[in-house]
C-alpha cells in the first residue's frame, strides 16, 4: 500500500519520475492511482519523506505469474557517448548458466540491456543463448548511474515479472542488484559459485563462514530470485552464430532529476592488476612459500617470459610481496586462465574458489600433502626457490 502524508508540500517532484504515470496532483497534493506498482522510485525523490510504502508479508505475496530467467547485460564503460560499448564477458557467462536454468524450468532466457544506442547487441546475445532481449534505449542511459538504471530495471521487473534475475558481481552489478532488491523488497544472494534448480526454485550456492562451508540458499518468497555471480566463475557456452534473439523494445520514462550523482572526471588507476588478472590467459602465482619479496619478484620474470601476469595468495599480499589487486581468491579476484602456475601456495579453500576454473593448474609445493595438489593437473613436490630459476633459464634458452 502507498500513502502520501500531510507532509506533502505539493512540489510536484514525484510526478515526472514515476515510470508508470501513477501520480496526479490533486489540490496540490500527490495522489497515486491503481497503476502504481509500488516500485518505490517516488519515495526516493520526495524531499520531505511524505510517501510511505507498506509491504505485505513476503509469505503472503502472490508469486504466480512470475516466469523467465533474466540476465542483466553489462556493457563496458567508456564514459564517451559516441564510443561503441561492448558486452562484458560476465554477461555471456551468465547466459550460459541462465540457459541451463531456463531449460530446466521450461521458461525463456531473457537478456536485459540498457543503452543509449543499440549496436546489434541482440546478435551476440542470441548466439550465447538468449531467447529474448528486453532492450531499453534512452539518452540518459549513456553511462551507468545507480538511480537511472535501477529505476529502469525495477519498472521492467514489475511489468514482466521474471522468476529469476542474474547479475555479474562486478562493480556495477554489486551496486545495481542490491538497489533493485531493496526497492522491490526481495532477497539477493551475492557471489554465488553454483546455480541450479531444486523443486522449481533457484538453488544458490556460495561460500559461507570465511569460505569454510558452502551454503545452499533458497528464496521461496522472493520473486525474482536474484543472484550475483563473479566473472570467471561460470564457463561461457559455445556461441551458436546465426541464432538470434527476439528483441522486445521497452520505453523508459526517465527524468534527468533522477540522476543524483554526476561523474565529473574519470581517472585510470595506476596499478590495474585486478583488471589484468581477471582476463589473463597465463597467471604465475606465488604464496607465503616464496618467503621474501626478492624471491617473489622472480615470478615477475617468469610471468613475462610466459606472456602472463603475476597473481598472489592473500598471505603473499599480507606480507607485502604484491599489491592487493593481484590477489586471487574469495576476497580477491576470481580468475580462469588457460594456465595457472602456483608456487608456494598451500591451497586454502579461499584461494581455490578463486582459481579452480583455470584450464590447466600446475602447482609447486614442497609439502606432498598440500591441498593445492587436489586441484592441480600437474604437481611438482619440490622447492620453489630451485624450480623457478630453472624454469626461467629453460625458457630463456628456448627463446
Ligand atoms: P600458507 O597457507 O602459509 O602456505 C604456504 C605454502 O608454501 C605451504 O603449503 C608450504 O608447504 C609451501 N612452501 C613453503 N616453502 C616452500 C618452498 N620453498 N617451495 C615450495 N613450497 C613451499 N587466501 C587467498 O589466497 N585468497 C583469498 O581471496 C582469501 N580470502 C580469504 C577470505 C577469508 C574470509 C578468510 C578467512 C581467508 C582468506 N584467505 C584467502 C586466506 C586463506 O585462508 C589462506 O590463509 C591463504 O590462502 C594462505 O596463503 P598461502 O597458501 O600463500 O600460505
Ligand atoms: Fe509511481 Fe513507483 Fe511511486 Fe507507485 S511507487 S507512484 S509506481 S513511482
Ligand atoms: Fe508531495 Fe513529495 Fe510528491 Fe513533492 S515529491 S508532491 S512533497 S509527495
- In this structure, are 249 and 292 located in the same domain? no
Q: Which of 13, 44, 53 to mutate to test the pocket of ligand 3 (most atoms within 8 A of CB)?
A: 13
Last-in-domain residue among 258, 287, 320? 258
- In this structure, are 87 and 170 located in the same domain? yes
pLDDT of residue 270: 59
Q: Which CATH number goes with the domain that contains 41?
A: 3.30.70.20
- In this structure, are 110 and 234 located in the same domain? yes
Asked if residue 63 is part of any domain, the answer here is no
- In this structure, are 239 and 371 located in the same domain? no
Determine the number of helices (DSSP H) and then strands (DSSP E) in the chain.
11, 19
Asked if residue 23 is part of any domain, the answer here is yes
- In this structure, are 100 and 224 located in the same domain? yes
Decide if 370 contacts 363 (C-beta within 8 A).
yes
Please name the residue that has the C-alpha cell 522449481: 200
Dihedral over alpha carbons 100, 106, 108, 111 (to 10 degrees): -20
- In this structure, are 91 and 215 located in the same domain? yes
pLDDT of residue 170: 93
pLDDT of residue 274: 54
- In this structure, are 30 and 74 located in the same domain? no
- In this structure, are 281 and 139 located in the same domain? no
Nearest CA to ligand 2 atom 3: 42
Cα(353) to centroid of ligand 1, in Å?
Answer: 13
- In this structure, are 108 and 240 located in the same domain? yes
Backbone angles phi, psi at 43, to 5 degrees: -60, -40
pLDDT in tens, 259-292: 888 888 877 665 555 558 888 999 999 999 999 9
Asked if residue 270 is part of any domain, the answer here is no
What residues flank ligand 1, with Cβ below 6 Å?
210-211, 287-289, 313-316, 327-332, 344-346, 348, 350-351, 354, 364-367, 370, 383-385
User: Coil, strand, or helix at residue 29?
Assistant: strand
Q: Which CATH number goes with the domain that contains 166?
A: 3.40.50.620
Please say whether the dihedral angle defined by the alpha carbons of residues 323, 325, 331 and 336, taken in this order, is positive or negative. Answer: negative
Asked if residue 64 is part of any domain, the answer here is no
d(CA 248, CA 149): 18
User: Which is the closest atom of ligand 2 to the Cα of 38?
Assistant: 5
Last-in-domain residue among 204, 229, 258? 258
d(CA 365, CA 124): 42
- In this structure, are 73 and 203 located in the same domain? yes
Cα(59) to centroid of ligand 2, in Å?
Answer: 23
Asked if residue 371 is part of any domain, the answer here is yes
Cα(2) to centroid of ligand 1, in Å?
Answer: 52
Q: Domain range holding 77?
A: 69-258
d(CA 231, CA 20): 34
Asked if residue 191 is part of any domain, the answer here is yes
Asked if residue 202 is part of any domain, the answer here is yes
The DSSP secondary structure of 149-211, one letter per residue, reads HHHHHHHHHHHH--SEEEEE-SHHHHHHHHHHHHHHT--EEEEESEEEEETTEEEEEEEETTT
Cα(186) to centroid of ligand 3, in Å?
Answer: 26
Count up the domains in the chain and report the number: 3
Decide if 244 contacts 126 (C-beta within 8 A).
yes
- In this structure, are 214 and 83 located in the same domain? yes
Asked if residue 266 is part of any domain, the answer here is no
Nearest CA to ligand 3 atom 5: 46
pTM for the whole structure: 0.77
- In this structure, are 90 and 225 located in the same domain? yes
Which of 101, 123, 323, 108 has the alpha carbon at shortest distance from 234?
101
Q: From first to last of the 399 residues of the chain, give the pLDDT tens digit.
A: 899 999 999 999 999 888 788 999 999 999 999 888 888 889 988 999 999 998 777 667 778 889 999 999 999 876 566 678 899 999 999 999 999 999 999 999 999 999 998 888 999 999 999 999 999 999 889 889 998 999 999 999 989 999 999 999 999 999 999 999 988 889 999 999 999 999 999 999 998 877 778 899 999 988 999 999 999 899 889 999 889 899 999 988 887 777 888 888 877 665 555 558 888 999 999 999 999 999 999 999 999 999 999 999 999 999 999 999 999 999 899 999 999 999 999 999 999 989 998 999 999 999 999 999 999 999 999 999 999 999 999 999 876
Amino acid at each position: 500500500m502507498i500513502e502520501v502524508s500531510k507532509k506533502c508540500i505539493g512540489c510536484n517532484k514525484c510526478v515526472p519520475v514515476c515510470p508508470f504515470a501513477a501520480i496526479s496532483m490533486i489540490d496540490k497534493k500527490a495522489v497515486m492511482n491503481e497503476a502504481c506498482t509500488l516500485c518505490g522510485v517516488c519515495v526516493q525523490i520526495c524531499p520531505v519523506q511524505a510517501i510511505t510504502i507498506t509491504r505485505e508479508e513476503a509469505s503472503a505475496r502472490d508469486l504466480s505469474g512470475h516466469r523467465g530467467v533474466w540476465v542483466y547485460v553489462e556493457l563496458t564503460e567508456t564514459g564517451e557517448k559516441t564510443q561503441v560499448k561492448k558486452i562484458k564477458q560476465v554477461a555471456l557467462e551468465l547466459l550460459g548458466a541462465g540457459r541451463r536454468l531456463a531449460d530446466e524450468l521450461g521458461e525463456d532466457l531473457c537478456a536485459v540491456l540498457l543503452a543509449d544506442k543499440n549496436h546489434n547487441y541482440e546478435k551476440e546475445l542470441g548466439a550465447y543463448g538468449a531467447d529474448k532481449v528486453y532492450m531499453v534505449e534512452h539518452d540518459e542511459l549513456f553511462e551507468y548511474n545507480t538511480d537511472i538504471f535501477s529505476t529502469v530495471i525495477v519498472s521492467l521487473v514489475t511489468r514482466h515479472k521474471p522468476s529469476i534475475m542474474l547479475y555479474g558481481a562486478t562493480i556495477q552489478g554489486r551496486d545495481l542488484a542490491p538497489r533493485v532488491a531493496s526497492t522491490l523488497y526481495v532477497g539477493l544472494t551475492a557471489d554465488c559459485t553454483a546455480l541450479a534448480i531444486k523443486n522449481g526454485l533457484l538453488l544458490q550456492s556460495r561460500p559461507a563462514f570465511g569460505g569454510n562451508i558452502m551454503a545452499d540458499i533458497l528464496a521461496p518468497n522472493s520473486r525474482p530470485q536474484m543472484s550475483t555471480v563473479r566473472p570467471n566463475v561460470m564457463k561461457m557456452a559455445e556461441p551458436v552464430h546465426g541464432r538470434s534473439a527476439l528483441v522486445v523494445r521497452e520505453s523508459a520514462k526517465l527524468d534527468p532529476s533522477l540522476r543524483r550523482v554526476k561523474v565529473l572526471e574519470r581517472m585510470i588507476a595506476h596499478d590495474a592488476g585486478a583488471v589484468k588478472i581477471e582476463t589473463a590467459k597465463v597467471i604465475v602465482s606465488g604464496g607465503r612459500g616464496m618467503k621474501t619479496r626478492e624471491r617473489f619478484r622472480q615470478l615477475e620474470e617468469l610471468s613475462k617470459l610466459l606472456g602472463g601476469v603475476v597473481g598472489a595468495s592473500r598471505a603473499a599480499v599480507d606480507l607485502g610481496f604484491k599489491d592487493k589487486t593481484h590477489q586471487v581468491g574469495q576476497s580477491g579476484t576470481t580468475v580462469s586462465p588457460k594456465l595457472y602456475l602456483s608456487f608456494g601456495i598451500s591451497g586454502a579453500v579461499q584461494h581455490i574458489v578463486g582459481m579452480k576454473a583455470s584450464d590447466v593448474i600446475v602447482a609447486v609445493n614442497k609439502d606432498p600433502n598440500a591441498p593445492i595438489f587436489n586441484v592441480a593437473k600437474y604437481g611438482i613436490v619440490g622447492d620453489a626457490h630451485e624450480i623457478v630459476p630453472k624454469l626461467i633459464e629453460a625458457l630463456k634458452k628456448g627463446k
